[in-house]
Structure 1
Amino acid sequence: MARATREYGDWPLKRLMTEVVGSGHKSADDMNREQARDAFQRILDGEPDHTTLGAFWLANRWKRNTPEELAAFVDVMREESVEVAAPEADPVDCGANYDGKGRSAILGVAAGVVAAAAGTPVVVHSGDRVPTQKQDAYKHVLDELGVMTDPSPRESAEMVDEVGFGFYYQPAFNPGVTDLFERRDAMGVRTFVNTMETLANPADAAVHLGSFYHLAFAKRMIRTFQACESQTVERALFFQGMEGYDDIRPGSTVVAEWPSEDPEADDENIFDFEIRTSEYGVDLESADLEVDDVAADSAEITEAVVAGETTDWFDDDDAFEDAVALNAALRMYAREDVPSLDEGMEQARAVVADGSAADVLADLKDF
């Protein structure tokens, strides 16, 4: 229901459809910041007719949103819906797609725990069965591990400071977007909300690690952060994650890094490079990371990897151990705690071997 006291701008969604975004994916115009802000304020308030809202979301999907539009949406979300609770630590904010994975293990909990044990604090966040896929996400792996998954934002921040790894739960820190669940579910396809919710940054971190489906989208996400007025992200890495999640895919993974000191960086100081997993001793294929039950199996794998134990999940090449070490190294590299992925992997293996990673996981369960 719309707020009775709200004063909107001059751009209801129906007018935006008629005059700006609704003429088709080749002829539609882009919104300016004022128009985009007005649109998302109305959406958060439940003001638009449901048919108009669905048409608006679909028109934006066809048109493809600009960084300025996305930044305006994110700014309104953070100003009017997100409750930020910043820990004293300055963690890496991991923004995986909230609608989850359906075939392969989620390695981010294990990777985050290992990175935390090596001195790189990590924050993850997710909702619960978010449209459209409504598959397993961070929350569901943590549920299987017995970790508290409904903390208040302040408790999430305390978790980061006490453990080194923290989970923020979308219904607790971003209720306005959570309230859009039914409307999003009725769409049947992803909307720009799926993109912007991963940029909520509830811990107000200076470093963001996110995932993308193609390089052009990664650069668009970096430009979105550059255009945001509600937060200051000083460094961002986006990589071509497995199933769109924040797990490095086997074989070759493209990464966009900003800012970069590489002389081959583009005019916006964005540099893209490839991670060839075989060059880091991670010799596996995507099928090696597939599981039957994503949440339960990912939790079992997490416990085994951080403890340095062998279970029925592992064959002779220690596929999951290697994959977790590389993903942990990327988190360390994102925060510039290590100069290279090679050194990050060395540290990852060391904290598993000496029991530090297992201690972090135990502390996380006890929090």
Structure 2
Amino acid sequence: MSLVFRNLLKKVGSGAHTHQDLTRAEAAMALKLMLEQTATPAQIGAFLIAHRIKRPTAAEMAGMLDTYQELGPKVAAIESASPVMILSQPYDGRDRTFPLSPLTALVLASAGIPVLQHGGDRMPTKEGVPLIDLWRALGVDWSRVPLEQVSICLAKAHLGFVYLPRHFPAAQGLVPYREQIGKRPPIATLELIWNPYQGASHLVAGFVHPPTETIIRDALYLHGVQEFTTVKGLEGSCDLPRERTAIIGLGRHQPEPWQRLRLHPQDYGMNSSNIPWTTLSEAGEAMQQVLTGEPHPLTASVLWNSGFYLWQGGKAATLTEGMALSQDLLCSGTVRQHCQRLQAVVEQL
């Protein structure tokens, strides 16, 4: 048993009226003791559920991010005219709406914007489809790529992926606790703002509840991150919705450090229902249809989503131009060819 960890546990788990928030340094220490398994399983499970009940603060999240940056894998910087875009998604996946970010990442990469993603296998508590399975459906198995080769893939094909079980086994060691406590712990929010890339980047983090966005924003500011985007996306991802207004936060440098952007799909002819999730095999067929230019309802959602990120990535002056560029890249076969190039690079690595 760790006496140091027990004292940290007592602070967050003392009840609604007597609990105390951890300092940034204490939160960093707590997560480090959990990742290194210095804390006992009983202590780890108790902390994760108590911290969820208490609700994390921005300072605590910043401290946990300190530990991820200290102990986690680091993808070496590449030479690139555009910052690497970090497209996040909750690690426990999606089970209601079709995930768009793999196709979005391919569109961005084919336009010259490097994209880095990270995640693991199917994970409690949602057990939804993870990014790694969607990429496999596209013919790309990121689980086989060693960490030192991820930056090479990022340089050659403008795409990379950090796979938790292989590249960050200490974090993978905390996954069973999610199933045992039956709830998402605060580290699920931490994963949305973790950036394993060492060079210039632009983080995009999805969220569901406004308080989570506030924690994300303030934790990133505590880390000195000024350029980032938050999206009230589909199931907490960075995929823009089509059945409602897209609510977006833009973290920018001074003099306007925080801006709110609301995009109405109907203003762009994009208002419709979101594409529902069915099965992985059907998803693979749908994604291939989009890449080959065959008519499919998924295409419009990809144009809406990738058009926004082409705009934010500086490849288009407006959202409308971003969607037009996305359509050109898909219709010309450029994105499909880039996917084939990615498959070849990963296979070589």
What is the TM-score of this pair, normalised by structure 2? 0.90
Alignment correspondent of 1:5: none
| Aligned-partner Cα distance in 2 for 1:247–1:139 | 16
Alignment correspondent of 1:102: 95
| Aligned-partner Cα distance in 1 for 2:181–2:77 | 33
Alignment correspondent of 2:277: 291
Alignment correspondent of 1:210: 205
Which amino acid in the other structure matches residue 241 of structure 1? G
Alignment correspondent of 1:221: 216
1:333 aligns with 2:288: no
Residue pair 1:99, 1:129 contacting (<8 A) in 2 also: yes
Give the CA RMSD over aligned residues: 2.1
| Aligned-partner Cα distance in 1 for 2:118–2:286 | 20
Alignment correspondent of 1:131: 124
3-state DSSP class of the match of 1:12? helix
Shift of 1:103: 2.0
Which amino acid in the other structure matches residue 292 of structure 1? T
Query: For each residue in 1:313-333, what CA deviation from the matched residue of structure 2 results, as whole angstroms up to 9, or x when unmatched?
Result: x3xxxx321110121122223
Which amino acid in the other structure matches residue 291 of structure 1? W
| Aligned pair partner of 1:243 in 226, 229, 235 | 235
Where in structure 2 are there 5+ consecutive unaligned residues? none
Shift of 1:141: 0.6
The equivalences for 1:15-54 within 5 A come to 15-18=7-10, 20-25=11-16, 27-54=18-45
Shift of 1:26: 5.2
Percentage identity across paired residues of the two chains: 24
Q: Larger deviation: 147-156 or 185-194?
A: 147-156
Residue pair 2:213, 2:230 contacting (<8 A) in 1 also: yes
CA separation of 1:208/1:347 partners in 2, compared to 1, >3 Å: closer, same or farther? Answer: same
Shift of 1:102: 0.8
| Aligned-partner Cα distance in 1 for 2:171–2:327 | 39
Residue pair 2:132, 2:141 contacting (<8 A) in 1 also: no
Alignment correspondent of 2:65: 74
1:155 aligns with 2:149: yes
Q: Larger deviation: 337-346 or 126-135?
A: 337-346
Shift of 1:350: 1.3
Query: For each residue in 1:196-240, what CA deviation from the matched residue of structure 2 results, as whole angstroms up to 9, or x when unmatched?
Result: 123332223520011001233223212212223xxx644111101
What is the TM-score of this pair, normalised by structure 1? 0.86
Residue pair 2:89, 2:205 contacting (<8 A) in 1 also: yes
CA separation of 1:153/1:234 partners in 2, compared to 1, >3 Å: closer, same or farther? Answer: farther
| Aligned-partner Cα distance in 2 for 1:333–1:128 | 31
Which amino acid in the other structure matches residue 338 of structure 2? V
| Aligned-partner Cα distance in 2 for 1:222–1:135 | 26
| Aligned-partner Cα distance in 1 for 2:159–2:265 | 25
| Aligned pair partner of 1:272 in 257, 260, 270 | 260
Q: Larger deviation: 197-206 or 136-145?
A: 197-206
3-state DSSP class of the match of 2:46? helix
Query: For each residue in 1:68-97, what CA deviation from the matched residue of structure 2 results, as whole angstroms up to 9, or x when unmatched?
Result: 111111111221232333333331011111
Query: For each residue in 1:240-289, what CA deviation from the matched residue of structure 2 results, as whole angstroms up to 9, or x when unmatched?
Result: 1111122111221211110167x8x6xxx211221211222212113xx0
1:116 aligns with 2:119: no
Which amino acid in the other structure matches residue 267 of structure 2? E
| Aligned-partner Cα distance in 2 for 1:213–1:192 | 14
Residue pair 2:111, 2:315 contacting (<8 A) in 1 also: no
1:179 aligns with 2:173: yes
Residue pair 1:120, 1:331 contacting (<8 A) in 2 also: no
Alignment correspondent of 1:140: 133
Shift of 1:112: 1.0
| Aligned pair partner of 1:304 in 286, 289, 296 | 289
Residue pair 2:226, 2:253 contacting (<8 A) in 1 also: no
Query: For each residue in 1:182-208, what CA deviation from the matched residue of structure 2 results, as whole angstroms up to 9, or x when unmatched?
Result: 223211110012111233322235200
Which amino acid in the other structure matches residue 68 of structure 1? A
3-state DSSP class of the match of 2:191? helix
1:58 aligns with 2:55: no
Residue pair 1:126, 1:170 contacting (<8 A) in 2 also: yes
3-state DSSP class of the match of 1:168? strand
Residue pair 1:142, 1:299 contacting (<8 A) in 2 also: no
Shift of 1:27: 4.4
Residue pair 1:351, 1:357 contacting (<8 A) in 2 also: yes
Which amino acid in the other structure matches residue 292 of structure 2? A
CA separation of 1:24/1:275 partners in 2, compared to 1, >3 Å: closer, same or farther? Answer: farther
Residue pair 1:97, 1:194 contacting (<8 A) in 2 also: yes
| Aligned-partner Cα distance in 2 for 1:256–1:215 | 11
3-state DSSP class of the match of 1:141? helix
| Aligned-partner Cα distance in 2 for 1:278–1:26 | 47
Residue pair 1:173, 1:202 contacting (<8 A) in 2 also: no
| Aligned-partner Cα distance in 1 for 2:316–2:216 | 24
Shift of 1:366: 1.8
3-state DSSP class of the match of 2:278? coil
CA separation of 1:45/1:139 partners in 2, compared to 1, >3 Å: closer, same or farther? Answer: same
